[in-house]
Amino acid sequence: MPKVIISGGGTGGHIYPAIAIANALKEINPATEILFVGAEGKMEMEKVPKAGYKIIGLPIAGINRSNLLANISFPKKLISSLSEARGIIKDFKPDVAVGVGGYASGPVLLAASMMDIPYLIQEQNSYAGVTNKFLSKSASKICVAYPKMDAFFNKDKIKMTGNPVRKDILEVNSKRAKALEHFGLLSSKKTVLVIGGSQGARTINEAIDAGLTNLVGAGYQVVWQTGKLYIDRAKKTAEVFEGQVFVSDFIYEMDLAYAVADVVVSRAGALSVSELCLAAKPAILVPLPTAAEDHQTMNAMSLVKNDAAILVKDVTAREDLVKATISLLQDPEKQAILSKNIHGLAKPEAAREIAEEVLKLIK
């Protein structure tokens, strides 16, 4: 019976690929025993049990780049997390470990390396972060989603798989009628889906808030995921557009959200980009400029240069985003081009390919 430990989290962009890999492992061999390790207080501690898996939290936290004084406790948390990770590995006795990025990956993979457990890194972005670059030195395999990743990793360890996503996004086109009913929208109107990532996105939220009257006035309807910090303000703005704007802090039924969308406005996190490719949706991407090493801009540019998405800079989004959205909604030809080109970049078998690589590492 294979035993696999999967570490990482912090955002939906790390958690959902991890769950997709776990599900693929179970499909290949239902007897596979899987344990997740995340960071205490982060969203994986809620989302992973909902997906049916056990998770243990570590006291690890990220480095605060904007307030260096806030990092005083970081060394203590890292040492404590490394010690706990060693204890978890000793108790669980995994055959192999997987790191998907996020705070918990570092201590778990470091402990695995020290205890001679082979491990695989799943690098989701087009620009590798500092932690994964460091951990890659002892990794047995590195699964990537973008070309030219040998700029960061040993090319002999790299496997190009794409990013794993939830299976239900593969069949969104057959769900439009169900999606319209779910969100309480009309089949006669085109729909904009606005997603800022699992935490929301302030700039996107403020741009949509300011331009909602223009969007609805132009004859369009909106599904708007705001994140927890903006939900009250968004609901207040949307209340005058009953039946034309659906607002929620978090959308669990993302397959239905994509199914109802004619155009998507999104951040450019790795998971969002991969889902858009599979759903084949015309997209306007607003990269988060403060993302580590500006990787979201690089993710977005990998689509833009293939005429597979439109980019609006965060700094100009408040003025330009709604205008760009209405312009795209009014241009069916451009929508068709973007849809065709973004779908050409999809990797529907990513989760299974990564799971197969994981199982190959078992001694």
Q: Which two tokens stand for residue 2?
A: 């294979």
Residue 109 is labelled as binding a ligand: no
**For residue 329, how far is the Cα from the chain centroid?**
25
Taking the C-alpha atoms of residue 1 and residue 93, their distance in angstroms, rounded to an integer, is 12
57 has binding-site annotation: no
For residue 283, the SS3 value is: strand
Cα 97 to Cα 79: distance, rounded to the nearest angstrom: 19
13 is in an annotated binding site: yes
Six token digits for residue 313: 């800079």
296 is in an annotated binding site: yes
Closest CA to 2 of 137, 143, 98: 98
274 is in an annotated binding site: yes
In contact, 292 and 131? CB cutoff 8 Å: no
**Is 198 annotated to bind ligand?**
yes
Q: Tokens 């239900």 belong to which residue?
A: 168
335 is in an annotated binding site: no
Tell me if 69 is assigned to a ligand binding site. Answer: no
Stretch (H or E) spanning 21: helix 12-28
Is residue 163 a known part of a binding site? Answer: no
Residue 12 marked in a binding site: yes
Q: Is 244 annotated as a binding residue?
A: no
Q: Is 11 marked as a binding-site residue? A: yes
CA distance 51 to 36: 11
The answer on whether 83 is annotated among ligand-binding residues is: no
Which residues are annotated as part of the binding site? 11-13, 125, 166, 198, 251, 270-275, 296
Which residues are annotated as part of the binding site for UDP-N-acetyl-alpha-D-glucosamine? 11-13, 125, 166, 198, 251, 270-275, 296
